[in-house]
Amino acid sequence: MALGIDIISDVVCPWCFIGKRRIEAALELYRARRPDAPAPAVVWHPFQLNPDMPPEGVDRDEYVRRKFGAERAGQVYGRITAVGREVGIPFDFTKVTRQPNTLASHSLIALAIDAGMQDAVVEALFRAFFVEGKDLTSADTLAEVAAGAGLDASDVKAFLASGNARAHVQAEDKQARKDGVEGVPFFVFNKRIAVSGAQEPGVLLEAMLEAEKEPAPSAAE
């Protein structure tokens, strides 16, 4: 049985982008440690850092001032930028002008599951927001980003217009909170071992190996 890895995250969470790089590094370590094991099955799940964000989003500078205060924001993003450089992410917060509601972004990540393209879509959304400063409140921008990651453009447009898709995202978000998730990224290995935060690859690897010691619970458990 392949190791199952569930990742709960938000596309506007910089530590989630860092966490993506660290789980990628952990997977490389896992492959070196367990060369004969099947590739782990990674699934991304939604979490909204700002579930009450209006659909049109808010001005990014205003959002940052409210959340951190101008002085502390510089310290926080300075640290994130430094860690980003360590893992190969060229964060550019100066380009971000709009703080979006992320329901639509998460619906596209859900769409990508059946196509086996979740990783590509998650990566594209992270880069669009944190590196290119694209406005993720724009349906046209989201469609362009998702199609660029390999999803069918017509499917993307239909999904973006689907209220059912967004309702599913909201339900998953609420379930994560009910299960005790308070911050992201949040990793669950084989539905047995949970790790909160963008931990170092070695920490994630140890959790992966520990989770393999017993099988994942069945759907009935």
pLDDT in tens, 167-200: 999 999 999 999 999 999 999 999 999 999 999 9
Contact 8, 185 (CB under 8 A): yes
CA pair distance 171, 160, nearest whole angstrom: 17
Torsional sign, CA 13, 14, 19, 21: positive
pLDDT reported for residue 215: 64
pLDDT in tens, 121-135: 999 999 999 999 999
pLDDT tens digits, 109-119: 999 998 899 99
Neighbours of 68 (CB within 10 A): 14
Q: pTM for this one?
A: 0.95
Half-sphere exposure of 67 (CA within 13 A, CB side): 14
Per-residue model confidence as pLDDT tens digits over 50-109:
999 999 999 999 999 898 887 788 889 999 999 999 999 999 999 999 999 999 999 999
The strand ranges marked E within 93-170 are: 98-99
Token pair 């290995």 is found at: 189
Strands 98-99 and 58-59: antiparallel
What is the structure's pLDDT at 218? 61
Torsional sign, CA 134, 21, 172, 110: positive
- pLDDT band for position 219 (cuts 50, 70, 90): low
pLDDT exceeds cutoff 90 at 32: yes
What average pLDDT score do residues 143-147 get?
Answer: 95
Residue 16 pLDDT grade (very low, low, confident, very high; cuts 50, 70, 90): very high
